[in-house]
Amino acid sequence: MKAKYKVIITVDKQRYEFETIIERSDRTTPEELNAALAPEGQRHLESLGDDASFGTRGGFTNIEYQYLGPA
C-alpha cells in the first residue's frame, strides 16, 4: 500500500520538514522505513541545494518520521 509520511531531517542543527509518499506493507519494520525514507530525505536536501554537509552520512545527521495515513 502507499503511505504518506511527514519526514523531519536534521542537518547541522537545522531541521527540514517535508511530506512524501512511499510504498510499504503492513509489516514494514522501522529499519525498512528508514531505508525507504532516507533516500527521500537526500532528494529533498538536494532539491534545496543543501546536500554537502560535512561529517554526515547522506547529508543529514538524524531522520524522524510520522505516519500520516494511506495515500
pLDDT score of 55: 46
**pLDDT exceeds cutoff 50 at 12:** yes
> Which structural domain, as residue segments, surrounds residue 11?
2-70
Give CA–CA dist 58/11, Å, rounded: 10
Is residue 50 very low, low, confident or very high in pLDDT (cuts 50, 70, 90)?
low
Does this model's pTM top 0.85? My answer is: no
The tally of domains found in the chain comes to 1
pLDDT tens track for 14-35: 899 999 999 999 899 999 999 9
